[in-house]
Amino acid sequence: MEFKLPELPYAKNALEPRISARTVEVHYEKHHRGYLNKLQKAIEGQPIAGKSLEEIILSAEGGVFNNAAQLWNHTFYWKSLSPKGGGQPGGDILKAIQGAFGSVDEFKRKFAEVANGQFGSGWAWLVRDEKSQLKILGTPNAENPLRQKATPLLVVDVWEHAYYLDFQNDRNGYTQACVDHLLNWEFAAANLKAAK
Ligand code: FE
């Protein structure tokens, strides 16, 4: 299967002033595209090349896993942010958040805590686990919750390349900007609905 770089769901400057067009340019064109190119090169002519991206993530190890998962994770990350994001979720996702964390504010606090506490490179996820519970997970490097039988609902990239141009070492400032202004609750709601 030939994988493609999915289009960004918004213009590169759409997340300003929180995330600059320059950061999105480098993150999407260099990092995201780089994972795609390395994956294509690694699987070319191999039996695994016939599998779907999710199948590769669930079965591969090493470089093939890393690049496949990073391709998937970044596509999910762009969709997890929105220029109209942040604020309060509604409907079923609101009820699920309140049920799992007590309140949206408590979810935001815990999510930021996990994102900021993830040592080194990685990801902070809101997931629905295999027991249908909403959970916040921190994963290192390329690791993806699909391998824990959990369904991702939202993600924030906490690799330094996601924030260093805009926030330097202030991961907390970046995480807070995502949580308060960019998290795409409509995307999370659609993912929750699809998981039921
Ligand atoms: Fe990234």
Q: How far is the CA of 59 from the centre of ligand 1 (A)?
A: 22
pTM for this prediction: 0.97
Q: Which of 80, 106, 123 is the last residue of a domain?
A: 80
State how far the Cα of 178 lies from the Cα of 40, in Å rounded to an integer: 31
Whether 120 and 48 map to the same domain: the answer is: no
Calculate the average pLDDT of the chain: 97
Q: How far is the CA of 167 from the centre of ligand 1 (A)?
A: 15
Whether 96 and 166 map to the same domain: the answer is: yes
Contact 73/140 with Cβ under 8 angstroms?
no
Q: Which of 80, 99, 130 is the last residue of a domain?
A: 80
pLDDT, tens digit, 9 for 90 and up, residues 44-64: 999 999 999 999 999 999 999
The encoded tokens of residue 4 equal 């493609």
pLDDT, tens digit, 9 for 90 and up, residues 138-174: 999 999 999 999 999 999 999 999 999 999 999 999 9
Whether 191 and 130 map to the same domain: the answer is: yes
Mean pLDDT, range 75-84, rounded to an integer: 98
The domain of 60 spans 21-80
The domain total for the chain is 2
Residue 170 lies in a domain: yes
Q: How far is the CA of 31 from the centre of ligand 1 (A)?
A: 6
